[in-house]
Amino acid sequence: DSGVTQTPKHLITATGQRVTLRCSPRSGDLSVYWYQQSLDQGLQFLIQYYNGEERAKGNILERFSAQQFPDLHSELNLSSLELGDSALYFCASSVEPLVKSDTQYFGPGTRLTVL
């Protein structure tokens, strides 16, 4: 158990809908990362937050957005869902991303299926 929690574990929805994925980082970690794992794209970095502020952006679609709240939990919002958005979404957290040896610890993931 990494200490990172994600809810829900599974999500099934229809095209065009909007969903919210939730992540709670390990105790003491200030930074949260979101990754998408799909069969065709592999593991791709989406976005990073540090202490409530966006720190880095990767291959995140405009239909997707995220935020980190004052209690440090984070939510990833996916809207106007398409079939191709079906994937496993991981959240990771770390203590101090400015330190080179900083390690990211991953949650169990949310499996999103868009029908």
Partner 1 sequence: GNSVTQMEGPVTLSEEAFLTINCTYTATGYPSLFWYVQYPGEGLQLLLKATKADDKGSNKGFEATYRKETTSFHLEKGSVQVSDSAVYFCALTGGGNKLTFGTGTQLKVEL
Q: Does 56 bind partner 1 (CB under 8 A)?
A: yes
* Nearer residue to partner 1 within complex by CB, 52 or 108: 108
64 lies in the site for partner 1, by CB under 8 A: no
Site for partner 1 in 14-33 (CB under 8 A): 31, 33
**CA 26 centroid distance within chain:** 14
Nearest CA-CA partner of 71 in 18, 12, 23, 21: 23
- CA gap 19, 61 in Å, rounded: 14
Out of 20, 43, 63, 115, name the contact with partner 1 by CB under 8 A: 43
